[in-house]
Structure 1
Amino acid sequence: MALPRLLLLELALHACCFICGIITAASVTLSQGDFSGKCLLYGSVRSNASEIDLSWSSATSLCYFVSGISVCVAIFCFCTILYWVYMICMDGEVERERISMTFSLLVSGLFLFFLLVTGCILKVGRDKLCESVLNTVSNITRCEEAQTKTWKSPLIGSSFYSKLHSAEMALWVNLIIWIIVVVLVVVQRRWGSQYNAREVDPGASPSETEPFFKQPGHPN
């Protein structure tokens, strides 16, 4: 059975959003793990001649919020893909009613809002941290250069910038993809309230597809 092309494209975009959500959540969580569970966003550092230390960090709930939103988006995308796979494999029919597309638009709008908020948190929070790093650590001109410096044990600063940068980039990509998803759902909603695609056996002869009991002809 063939899926409507727009719906197939939408599911492919959901798969991309799932991957982006996992990357963002994993990157933020790993950066916390490298700094003993502390949230680096909006943080500040202090430095002496030999090593760098984290002097202030945000509440851990801030990083949990960023990770949690990304995980929720990933779970929703995964469940959506599973639902349509079930519809294809079990029911043999694809039906998309207008009310389901309205629900998708509402959920997409909600995710767009939270992704925009978390994207701003990641962007501004990372910039504040890098500003502190550049003002404190000597002999560096870019924030990522601090990854090559020695950090106070048990902190692991060898990839703090790379992880936060990956989290931010994946989140912005996620946001852009969700905008495209919203456009696709709006187009599908305007084209019709229902998509139907039924399985047909290509090897069946016309006689096999005819009903067993034919309707009797009407007398003239």
Structure 2
Amino acid sequence: MALPWSLLAELVLHAACFVCGVVTAAALTVVQGEFGGRCVLYGTVSYNGTTQSLVLDGSSSPSLCYFVSVVSVCVAIYCFSVTLYWVYLSCVGDEVTRARIWMTASLVVCGVFLFFLLVSGCVLKIGRDHLCNSIIEKASLKSCEEAQNKTWVSPLKRVQFYSGLRNAETSVWVNFFFWIIIVAMVIIQKRQGTELLAAPGDNAGGFPSETEPILRRSGRPQ
């Protein structure tokens, strides 16, 4: 039997978050690779008028870019695992529902991811703006995107740094938005009491045991 509509919607959102996480990590890694492993966020640039080329004078610690990439990869791995688990349960055959304790755990995970995605988005936004302001000021360009068509000091040629950073930032904020929707859906499910109640005699307090699976299949009718 298929997953309930609420869990199916979450599955789609988790799959979308997985894609966003992969896009963010890939785009930022490519940009970092184009600059020889240097993290250009919060970087400073100078312009050589003789050769009409841009020079990356200052850059942030590579760990700053690694932090954003690791956050995105962790989100992607979690979403991929959850998606696979739910797809597996939907293929087993029985209807599945989620217990209250796992809804609470999901909210905690969502809160952690929302915090780190917010930090990552701010780092990408402010770091890119700082770099672009330096480029526009030193090279007298109208926009940062024009610097992609300029020559950079060897071994760099024409790097697509602006497009890469913009794609990474956009993916982070889209990911953040999807997680807000997931949080709202879990809260609604919890308030509506869609969790699977324990069978009589299972638990005296009426709450599922902590040893129950995240999603439990309903028993087949006799």
Contact between 1:2 and 1:197, CA under 8 Å: does it hold in 2? no
Residue in structure 2 matched with residue 54 of structure 1 by the alignment: 56
Asked if 1:7 corresponds to 2:7, the answer is yes
RMSD: 1.8
Measured after TM superposition, the shift of residue 153 of structure 1 is 1.1
Q: Which amino acid aligns with 2:186?
A: V
Shift of 1:85: 1.5
Distance apart, 1:95 and its partner CA = 2.9
Structure 2: how far apart are the matches of 1:100 and 1:114?
A: 21
Aligned to 1:75: 77
Q: Which deviations, in whole Å up to 9, do the C-alpha atoms of 1:106-153 show, x marking residues without a partner?
A: 000000000001100000000000000001113x20000010001111
Report the equivalent of 2:153.
Answer: 152
Secondary structure in 1 matching 2:145: helix
Tell me which residue corresponds to 1:184.
Answer: 185
- Structure 1 pair 4–156 and aligned structure 2 pair: CA distance change class (3 A): farther
Flag structure 2 segments of 5+ consecutive residues without an equivalent.
197-214
Q: Percent identity?
A: 55
Matching residue of 1:104:
106
Q: AA paired with 1:63?
A: C
| 1: CA distance, partners of 2:157 / 2:184 | 42
Match of 2:202 in 1: none
Q: TM-score, normalised on structure 1?
A: 0.86
Change (3 A) 1:149 1:187: same
Aligned equivalent of 2:208 = none
1:10-64 per-position Cα deviation (integer Å, ceiling 9, x unaligned): 1101111000000100011000000000001000111112211100000000000
Aligned residue number for residue 17 of structure 1: 17
Retained in 1: the 8 A contact 2:2–2:95? no
Counterpart secondary structure, 1:92: coil
Greater Cα offset, 54-63 or 82-91: 82-91
Work out the number of aligned pairs and report it: 201
Check conservation: 2:54, 2:150, Cα contact below 8 A: yes
Give the conservation status (yes or no) of the 8 Å contact 1:105–1:182. Answer: yes
In structure 2, give the amino acid aligned to 1:174: N
Q: What amino acid is the match of 1:81? A: T
Letter of the structure 2 residue corresponding to residue 33 of structure 1:
G
Give the 3 Å change call, closer, same or farther, for CA 43–99 of structure 1 in structure 2.
same
Question: Which of the two has greater strand per residue?
Answer: 2
Q: CA, structure 1 residues 58+14, in 2 after alignment: closer, same or farther (shift >3 Å)?
A: same
* 2:145 alignment partner AA: E
Which residue number corresponds to residue 176 of structure 2? 175
| Separation (CA, whole Å) in 2 of partners of 1:187 and 1:196 | 19
Determine whether 1:39 maps to 2:23: no
- Compute the displacement of 1:3 (Å): 1.5
